Amino acid sequence: MGGFSLTHWIILLVVVVLIFGTKKLRNTGRDLGEAVKGFKDGMKGEEEKSAKSLEDASTVEADIKDKSHSA
C-alpha cells in the first residue's frame, strides 16, 4: 500500500504515451530542457554581473585612494 511497483510504472508510461503521443512528449521534453538551460544561463549571468560590479567597485575605491595619496 502506498508504493508503486515496476508493473504499475510501465502501465502508467504506456497510458501516457497512448494519450499524448511520442511526438508531443518529445517536444515537451525538449521545451523543458531548453527552459532549464535558459534558467541556468540566466543564473550564471547574474553571478558574473555581481562579480563584475564588485570588481568595478573595488577598482573605483582603489583609484580614489591612489588620488588622495598623490595629492
Entry pTM: 0.46
Q: At which residue does the C-alpha cell 531548453 appear?
A: 34
pLDDT score for 27: 92
Domain spans of the chain, in order of start? 6-70
pLDDT score for 46: 75
Contact 33, 25 (CB under 8 A): no
- Secondary structure (DSSP) of 14-42: HHHHHHH-HHHHHHHHHHHHHHHHHHHHH
Residues of the chain with pLDDT under 70: 1-2, 53-71
